[in-house]
Structure 1
Amino acid sequence: MLTASEVRKLISMPDAVAAVRAAFLDLAAGEFTQPTRLSFGGGRALVMSAYHAGSGAAVVKTLSVELERSPAILGTLVWSSADGQLVADAIEVTTLRTGAVSGVATDLLAAPDASRLTVLGAGAQAADQVRAVAAVRPLASVTVHARTSARASALISVLRKEFPAVEFAVSGTADEAVSAADVVCCATSASEPVFDAAALPENVHVNAIGSYLPSMRELPEELLASARVVVVDEVGACMEEAGEVIHAVSTGSLKRDSLVELGSALTDPPGVGGRTVFKSVGVAAQDWALARLLAQGS
């Protein structure tokens, strides 16, 4: 079994972004059989699986999620192919692939010179959001807002060692944090929107990866209603699990048929400019992409 540290040694963030991008193109091309995620106990236990027709390889991931626990996510990933089987710690795979998909979306939708990143949330997912955006854009500054300034400062102390040329700052409010951002990454467990849409610049790209239950919402309805394009990892998955998307569609402020899946957007890019949104609940093709990297490198 590959440990968390071994997973980190085998996969760099740029490689993860490239692998996840390729997987979403394959997903759009119909190469994956990917059942809807199984959720038990109100999202406290999750099972995800995917099979890739071209390679004949499959992945299954099981997770235990307790938001008050540290780490909040525990689990195991199993990769199976004609060459054998690989088992890996699922925590690092999950944070890496979640960061990587934000990197893919940011590379697609953010301005080429985007350099100011705001991160809302300072939990286990936050650091890889920064690493992923840094893999595709020339970051000059990162502003962090979290429930407590201590959590934000702790995250910054880790990232400052990795990115000594980047200017880091803690913001007291979410609205202040997003007001001058080129890219915003939301990585919270919020049940209500974490910022006001009016606080955003007119040209900004927003990634939201924290909510994965109908009861969770990070993004304001007004942003989803007014965004130039709303891209999702998978429409079906988001309509079952993304609270902000479900809410906005139910009120009529967002039309389901206006949602663009990431694989389709990569095939036919919608361009940059204005306010753009990427909402992800996570799909098994992402896990498959990183598991293949592990199998190739181990």
Structure 2
Amino acid sequence: MLFLNEKDILKAAAIEDMIAAVEKAYVVYEDNDFQMHARSHFTIQNNSVLFMPCSSDRAAGTKIVTVFPENKDRPVTQGAVVLVDSKNGAVKALLDGTVLTALRTGALGGAAAKFLASDEAKSVGLIGTGYQGLYQIIAVCAVCKIQEIFLFNRSSSKIPHFIRNLKAYIKNIPIHTAETAQDLVQKSDIIITATTSATPVLPEADLYQRKLIIGIGSYMPHMREFPEHLLQNLKQMFIDSHDAVNESGDILIPLQKGWLSEAQFIPFSKVVTQKVKPDFTQTRVFKSTGMALFDLIAAETVYEKAVQVQLGQELDF
């Protein structure tokens, strides 16, 4: 069994490799060439533990992921991914699920920007400067010609550390701290929300026309990042899987209140496979809750690249 820690994974796969992996996952999803049950979700007080199994013709595996929103000295989201050899059933790899989740979720935002951002998009704003937000910015900058970055966090003390980490990856792009979420939205062509908030983090204001909003954070029914004004004025919302309709408050609440109908939710796999073309004259919204298929193909991609360059540690199992 090959063990791949954070350093191995970051050496093995660039963010561009992860974006290609999630695009591949969208094609597999559209072709329905996989098996995946709904994630099992358990709670520990106000925290979450999720089990996410999946298999395809080439690989099988599962991710165990925890979400502890109040963590201060550790990432909010942590986990491990186990890969199983589809030929003989052996456990062939154990991967650090914390960094893998961050990379593949960042890649989801990057893929959304690649297909949904207009060619004129030059600025990106991030609300929520945690571990996940770092890879969102890295991925968007990899696919768009970004000239300015804007950051906002309810706890502003976290921003200087975030900027130091970001500058290790992003060179020669000015990074600004927005005074308010409204200030960030006004100045950004692409807006990313990466929080676990139970109340909208975007302002109730007429500020979103022709912009791209990427919602990454809310993954449970009580969590919500999008405001009513944005939702009531949408033509459609792109979602990363059908399961998202049953998982995120950013979808469940608009459905319950009649702000959106089920017909307005479009699987993003149809954009990747060119069955649906986005309307760049409208506000575009992409909502992700993630799914095990992304983890499986991302893990398989990292594993294959690690084997090629001889990264990782072989363990007896």
TM-score (norm 2): 0.89
CA deviation map 1:153-197 (0-9, x unaligned): 221122123222101000121111111211011001110111224
AA in 2 matched with 1:147: R
Count of matched residue positions in the alignment of Structure 1 and Structure 2 = 295
Q: What does residue range 155-170 of structure 1 map to in structure 2 within 5 Å?
A: 155-170=162-177
The reply on whether 1:276 has 2:284 as its aligned counterpart is: yes
Give runs of aligned pairs for residues 1-20 of structure 1, distance below 5 A.
Answer: 1-20=3-22
Runs of 4+ in 1 over 4 A off after TM superposition: none
Question: In structure 2, how many angstroms separate the alpha carbons of the residues matched to 1:228 and 1:115?
Answer: 23
Kept in 2: contact 1:39–1:47 (CA 8 A): yes
Q: Which has the larger radius of gyration?
A: 2
Q: Structure 1, residues 21-72: CA drift from partner, whole Å, max 9, x if none?
A: 111111011111111111001651100011113x2x1120001221112222
Aligned partners of 2:126 and 2:150 also within 8 Å = yes
| Match for residue 288 of structure 1 among 296, 299, 303 | 296
Amino acid at match of 1:247: I
* CA distance in structure 2 between the aligned counterparts of 1:175 and 1:65, rounded to whole angstroms: 28
Residues 233-244 of structure 1 aligned to structure 2 (within 5 Å) = 233-235=240-242, 237-244=243-250
CA drift of 1:124 comes to 1.1
3-state secondary structure, aligned to 2:103: helix
Counterpart in 2 of 1:52? Answer: 56
1:28-177 aligned at under 5 Å gives the runs 28-41=30-43, 44-53=48-57, 55=58, 57-69=59-71, 70-81=74-85, 82=87, 84=90, 85-177=92-184
Partner of 2:28: 26
**What is the aligned partner in structure 2 of residue 254 from structure 1?**
260
| Contact 1:176–1:199 (CA under 8 A) maintained in structure 2 | no
Alpha-carbon shift at residue 147 of structure 1 (Å) = 1.4
Give the Cα–Cα distance (whole angstroms) in 2 for the partners of residues 117 and 265 of structure 1: 21
Tell me, in whole angstroms, the C-alpha distance in 1 between the residues paired with 2:37 and 2:178.
Answer: 40
Q: Identify which range, 6-15 or 145-154, moves more after superposition.
A: 145-154
Match of 2:310 in 1: none
Question: Once the two structures are aligned, what percentage of the paired residues are identical?
Answer: 27
Output one character per residue of 1:70-100: Cα deviation in whole Å (capped at 9) or x when no partner.
2222221001122751111100010001010
Question: Is 1:264 equivalent to 2:273 in the alignment?
Answer: no
Q: Compute the displacement of 1:290 (Å).
A: 1.0
Counterpart CA distance in 2 for 1:161 and 1:75 is 24
- Paired letter, 1:9: K
Q: Which string of whole-angstrom CA distances, capped at 9 and with x for unpartnered residues, describes residues 227-246 of structure 1?
A: 232000112x2222111110
Task: Show structure 2 runs of 5+ residues with no match.
Answer: 307-317
Instruction: State the Cα deviation string for residues 192-222 of structure 1 (Å, max 9, x = none).
Output: 1112242524210000010111010001122
Superposition CA RMSD, Å: 1.5
- Tell me the secondary structure at the aligned position of residue 120 of structure 2: coil
